[in-house]
Structure 1
């Protein structure tokens, strides 16, 4: 893609775009020289379930991500960090939007030369922590994202394109439960379903949490990505996942891979 970008040809490059920050830097330099648009194919960025993030009650304090898949022969030249986890590293930029201050990770190789399972704990400026797990040797497929704030949390299912909002109805984080229910009913929405706090032994508002679905539209992420890319080419606007966003995600991926290698599990190749 570098020669094409340098000649002014707009390019949509599939992730991980060379698998290193150096490769993305070369793409960005060529795009700047040719005044061409560069977009990296992070299709999860177009999942409509992410629209539910607007419903998070407060700033994110803790993020929990799981991206699990059964074994497939689809990708063998990179490990699970650059194959699957990279999507979530990109999404963290949107969810948290702060600089990374610490990375600790571990990984396991089961099928080949690269890590097949990886787990990373990422700490951001301001104290938000993300725990990210990726596997390509799982028994079942799972794509979930949980974002916690001081006043509740969101549960996003990226596969089903479904989202739920969960809030406490008792304790120091709870607000006026009756007022919230009344407000929802005035909007024509059903009152939230009540669920007990684990171990509380109850299920009423006095000792539980409330959860209800967050309304989101449905769309095919890959189709939305292509349509957005074509619109960028036609209008000249900046792509959703440009070279800078891809560089940030890969920079975090490289720190995770370096942390895995430091744990003495053997060399983990980035490309």
Structure 2
């Protein structure tokens, strides 16, 4: 079978990584590029960098990756849908949910694979955690907590921390639990002088009663990416920077320390850090997109799922604006 002919729109900080992975991917050939600002990171390697998406489409491609600023997602994705080209668009799916609905509807109408780049689903620690939750290793799940903080990335100019970073946590939380959000309440602030928020704290409930909380900011001098799933038998701790997964089980030993024995909650048991095969999440994401196009599997983050994540992000911003609980 001939290789899928792939195009890449957007050659910025994320686009350069997509270019590298596309060139490494079996069954895919990167043949076309477009970026109105040119090839700032020198990734073209002899390919013509088109100013316009339609000129890139004219080269004849089967699929494309969209890594342009969020405000341009709809314009570019709709051009690809009209041309019958499968699309992996970076997260969030669009700048707002109305735009996201139009994109998702267009790809469904054309019978095309439309995927959203919520890359955390392909992190080895979270993939292992999801499998262990499905196997019932934790029993009932009570709470999912995430922390995602670090210095401000200069590449982000068109959205705040909620749509850029918190969408990772919203998506991975609903995916791990296999349950959607039913309400959220949140507070945001902007301390860096930018137009958009750079810090958010959000609390929510999922449809199955799981409590969630998310701490996300661009103001921290240290980088942290952690998800903790607390349940009946203990807690899983996933560090998505190192791709490590640890399980701390509930203790079973009786304590002879009188003041501690009076506390009738759980006690700390054994801790296990699992040995995991650690493959690059971006490559796994591209493999899933390729296999969906070829009809081998459907493990991509669908545009419908990407749209639901964006709806929750908008509810977070609405709650921060009004000070109330927002139902979804």
Q: Match for residue 129 of structure 2? A: 52
Pairing 1:140–2:222 present:
yes
What TM-score comes out, normalization by structure 2 length? 0.67
Q: Structure 1: 5+ residue runs without aligned partners?
A: 175-198, 265-271
How do 1:209-220 and structure 2 match up within 5 A? Answer: 209-220=269-280
* TM-superposed deviation, 1:258: 0.3
1:257 to 298, 317, 322: 317
2:295 to 227, 235, 239: 235
Pairing 1:82–2:163 present:
yes
1:108 to 189, 202, 205: 189
User: Is residue 200–residue 207 contact of structure 1 (8 Å, CA) maintained in 2?
Assistant: no
SS of the residue aligned with 2:140?
coil
SS of the residue aligned with 1:77?
coil
What TM-score comes out, normalization by structure 1 length? 0.81
How do 1:1-271 and structure 2 match up within 5 A? Answer: 1-50=77-126, 51-55=128-132, 56-111=137-192, 112-170=194-252, 208-235=268-295, 237-263=297-323
Higher relative contact order (Cα pairs below 8 Å, separated by 6+ residues): 1
User: Is residue 162–residue 317 contact of structure 2 (8 Å, CA) maintained in 1?
Assistant: yes
* TM-superposed deviation, 1:237: 4.2
* TM-superposed deviation, 1:116: 0.2
* Aligned residue-pair number: 235
**Separation in 2, partners of 1:208, 1:61:** 17
SS of the residue aligned with 2:85?
coil
User: Is residue 37–residue 239 contact of structure 1 (8 Å, CA) maintained in 2?
Assistant: no
RMSD: 2.3
* TM-superposed deviation, 1:239: 4.8
User: Is residue 9–residue 34 contact of structure 1 (8 Å, CA) maintained in 2?
Assistant: no
User: Is residue 6–residue 33 contact of structure 1 (8 Å, CA) maintained in 2?
Assistant: no
User: Is residue 187–residue 320 contact of structure 2 (8 Å, CA) maintained in 1?
Assistant: yes
* TM-superposed deviation, 1:247: 1.1
Range with bigger deviation, 2-11 or 83-92:
2-11
Per-residue CA deviation, residues 188-247 of structure 1 (Å, 9 max, x unaligned), is xxxxxxxxxxx959xxxx964211112322010111111221122222643520111101
* TM-superposed deviation, 1:24: 1.5
Q: Match for residue 180 of structure 1? A: none
**Separation in 2, partners of 1:218, 1:103:** 33
User: Is residue 234–residue 247 contact of structure 2 (8 Å, CA) maintained in 1?
Assistant: yes
